[in-house]
Amino acid sequence: MRLSGKVAIITGAGQGIGAATALKFAREGAVVAVCDLNAEAVSSVVEACRKAGAISVGFIANVIDRESVVEMVRKVLGQFQRVDVLVNNAGITRDARLQKMTLTQFDDVIDVNLRGVFHVAQAVVDSMVEQGSGVILNASSVVGIYGNYGQTNYAAAKFGVIGFTKTWSRELGPKGIRVNAVAPGFIDTPILSTVPDEVLEKMRDQVPLRRLGKPEEVANLYAFLASDEASYINGAVIEVSGGMTL
């Protein structure tokens, strides 16, 4: 198992890509700290990880609340003495065209998708520096590379995450810490549950593989990047998009 013995914190792990990543890490032997705002979802994912044979703990943590994040990391360190992997997956959407977007819509997305990534990374980084190793994996998006209609806030946040990744990989690489970003395309997650069928069909048509991605396909990349098999990958932004941006 490629993650045997590694302690991983995964934010936004209650559903979708985060839940799939937690379960993948569990099957690969990691100790999994499942973090989300939804208590019921946290319990469900923790149970699934334990059934897969992993040690797993759950936390109700809000990434925009600095004290909540620091307390969660403190508890993980207290119980397991280290954090080897952080997957900054928590994210939301509040879509609207520039002319219609409210300040609340803009601020909510920036707070969760950008400021939240900063909060959690800063909470774990000192322990990683002290142990001389660690992996930080940030959830960006193809929208953060190419933009997307109606997603000024989301594109800005996900582009900012790429900036974090490039900067932190330079700062932390010499200390034994790798930082990479994953940029999913159209992935079949609960976020798409309200999208009309005709829109989903147009989305599929944009992908050469003619289908949406599966959360597990993103989780597989996270697991690889978290493992020692990816020991010379640092500062990368890797798309999981089925070729939609070709």
The domains found in the chain, sorted by start residue, are: 7-184+215-236 (3.40.50.720)
CA pair distance 81, 210, nearest whole angstrom:
45
Q: Would you state the pLDDT for residue 91? A: 96
CA pair distance 211, 89, nearest whole angstrom:
23
Task: Give catalytic residues, as residue numbers.
Answer: 154
A 10 A CB-CB count for 137 gives 24
Q: Would you state the pLDDT for residue 199? A: 82
* Max CA separation in the chain (angstroms): 52
Q: Would you state the pLDDT for residue 83? A: 98
Q: Are 69 and 61 in contact (CB under 8 A)?
A: yes
User: What is the chain's length?
Assistant: 246
Torsion on CA atoms 229, 234, 237, 243, rounded to nearest 10: -30
Q: Which stretches in the chain have pLDDT values below 70?
A: none
Is pTM, for the whole model, over 0.85?
Answer: yes
Torsion on CA atoms 56, 61, 66, 71, rounded to nearest 10: -50
Q: Look up residue 206 and give its two tokens.
A: 């944009």
Backbone CA torsion sign across 68, 126, 131, 221: positive
Torsion on CA atoms 216, 219, 223, 229, rounded to nearest 10: 80
What does the pLDDT look like over 120-133, one tens digit per residue?
999 999 999 999 99
